[in-house]
Amino acid sequence: MSAADQHIDLEYFLKKVPLFSSIPDSQISEIASCFHFLEVKKDSIVFRQGDLSDSMYIIRTGAVSIYSEKNQAQSFQAELRRGDFFGEMALLSDLPRNADAKVTLDATLFYLKKEDFETLLSKNKHIGLFLSRLYARRLSSGYENKAIREKSTFYTISATDPDLGLSHFLYSMSYHISTESNKKVLVVEPHLELESIMQKFGLGIIPCPDERLFDLLPEDTYKTGDFKWFHHPAGFRVLQVNTGFNEKLVPVLPLLMESFKYRYDIVVFSLSHHFGNLEQQAVRLCDKNLFLINNTKTALQDVKHKLNRLEEKAGLGLDRVRVGVSHLCGSHGIAREQLKKDLNLSETPQIWVDRSDKALNDQIDTQKRFPIKGARAVAREIAGVRIGLALGAGAARGWSHIGVLKVLEDQGIHIDMIAGTSMGALVGAIFAAHGSVDHLRKNTIDLLLTRAQARKQIFDYTLPFRGLLRGKKAMNLVANAIDHADFMDLLIPTFLVGVDIIKGEEVLFETGDVAKAVRSSLSLPAVFAPFKYRGRWMVDGGLLNPVPVNILEQKGADKVIAVCVENHRSTPEQISKSLGIMGVISRTISIVHGRATSGFAQKSDIVIYPDVQGFAWDDFHKGELLMQRGITACEQVIEEIKTLVQ
């Protein structure tokens, strides 16, 4: 293959690699020009544990296995195939390789040198966000070595203005981290001094819990009275630094952080709206920086200026600065999608502080509300306890998803994000709009109690040039159930999968009209006519990704529950000798989806297989029975799920 052909091939390939999926096509060509090509034979070593880190790799063809060595014994970590990348974590940490990479099937690799990788990160925030989430997922699943997994994480939190509810957000977040995980949390307050304010947040003053925390500090740099300690019944602690000591803390801050990292899992420096020497030092040293902004038009230029200063001081790294919005100031704000564009953010910012009595009165929000939002949503991300639910394809059999959701709701299992394909997209989107199984049921299976009702609500026959059904009725059913919502209106972050039938590639929907995205995802060939949306002819996402676990992994879920209605463990169904058109379609769905589901289970923490044998693709009127199958299947593993979320 010539160099020009390699470049064209790489451009096409990179567009399909999840790491680069959010980058505009116009930038892909420039990125492709930075890569180098390498052919490696089976059993060759790409790099060894302890080697210096100089490149990251993407697999074009073949397979690579990752091994770590401890006590002179090799331990298998992962097998990587087409589209997977490796070696980037060592570049980011600037540490030697912590594993061997061995080619197990003749491979062609594209690799990127360290300096080019750093340039790529600095220009494309989406890549930093994706890697940050993937890294967290790998660490929680034991991909990296134990020493790295036990490393503390340091955060700063700051705001553009003093009246955005930062303290309410900070202490609510700390409360939820402490109560939803075993992590030890410390908040460092260089600015808040009044004990009465601390009492409003439920914090009581305590003696220094461990004098050894200051062992590394030179004795002439501090006095015992320079620090005050507070404790919250939830378990987190607050270290308050007296005014006047702030400047003395600047040169010794790394020493203090060195002591913290052996005693706390998460340390948060509250910088308020200040950005002096101490704040700049903290931003430079911490792993991540949370930034709470005022989103009114009059404040936009000030927000841009302060964000630029923060990013400049934070420097290059994985998703170093995260932005959230406060709705405490101003009655008319800029839409979050517009904020993303105007501020060049890696993703649409969440609403971290909304108008509430607790926020306005400086009190901790301790309620475990569902759907999850605000401080609790950020806390679960930081704590690494976010639960993703992948709902698979399967036509009418997908009503069993409702039964699974019913058990999770009854047991108080809160879902942080949903990914759905085909019928899983329909069920997931309607549930995400209201976060209520009762609403979901009333707007789906309760409307389709008989075959006649199902045909009236869903079946809009058309001339079979492209499909049996037009699909407009199904789309309207969804639109009415979700109040014609945009993805931004959904209470639970949701991601839907379709397939571009012309290009033969997977398409992810996470913005825009939800009902049209659902219609795109459930366009099963021969049943529903292909649906033209955003200039693409869309068909059923189940053709390529029937159970979209990988989407949840990309979006940062820490634990994944998958629901598959094509049960690979079941026995073949009885087929009559005279198989009609409906039977042919039903068997086609099962075969296509069943073949494509291979591989998703190993990326899931728990897989639920409702017993849906004997149900046809068009048994939409049997929702009650199918829902019960989902209830039964979920109840069988509910103790495992409880263990997972605890």
Nearest alpha carbon to residue 251 among 217, 288, 224, 226: 217
3-state secondary structure of 141: coil
608 token code pair:
């639920």
CA dist., res. 159 & res. 293, Å (int): 6
Closest CA to 504 of 15, 10, 2: 15
Contacts with 341 (C-beta within 8 Å, 6 or more apart), sequence order: none
d(CA 634, CA 646): 17
CA distance 603 to 513: 29
Task: Compute how many other C-beta atoms are within 10 angstroms of the C-beta atom of residue 608.
Answer: 28
Q: Is the peptide bond before 96 cis (omega within 30 degrees of 0)?
A: no
DSSP reduced 3-state for 237: strand
Distance of CA 339 to the CA centre of its chain: 20
Cβ neighbours of residue 72 under 8 Å, at least 6 residues apart? none
- Coil/strand/helix, residue 311: helix
Give the residue from 173, 131, 156 showing the smallest Cα distance to 286. 156
Residues 462/507, Cβ–Cβ less than 8 Å: no
Give CB contacts under 8 A, 24+ apart, made by 502-511: 502/536, 502/537, 503/536, 505/16, 505/544, 506/541, 506/544, 506/545, 507/536, 507/538, 507/541, 508/21, 508/551, 511/337, 511/486, 511/487
Angle 59-63-67 (CA atoms, 0-180°, nearest 5)?
105
* Terminal CA-CA length for the chain: 52
Q: CA 104, 108, 114 angle in degrees (round to 5)?
A: 100
The answer to whether 64 touches 47, Cβ cutoff 8 Å, is no
**Residue 540 annotated to the active site:** yes
Q: How many CA atoms lie within 13 A of 468 on its CB side?
A: 11
Active-site annotation holder among 422, 520, 521, 590: 422
Burial 159-176 (b: 16+ CB within 10 A, else e): bbbeebbbbbbbbbbbbb
Of residues 161, 540, 605, 619, which has the active-site annotation? 540
Q: Is 578 designated active site?
A: no
* Residue among 475, 562, 565 nearest 523 (CA): 475
Contact call for residues 509 and 356 (beta carbons, < 8 A): no
List phi, psi (to 5°) of 94: 60, 35
CA 605 to each of CA 311, 355, 370, 471, 637: distance values in angstroms, whole numbers, following the listed order? 35, 36, 22, 34, 12
- Cα pseudo-dihedral 414, 418, 421, 427, rounded to 10: 50
Positions marked catalytic: 422, 540
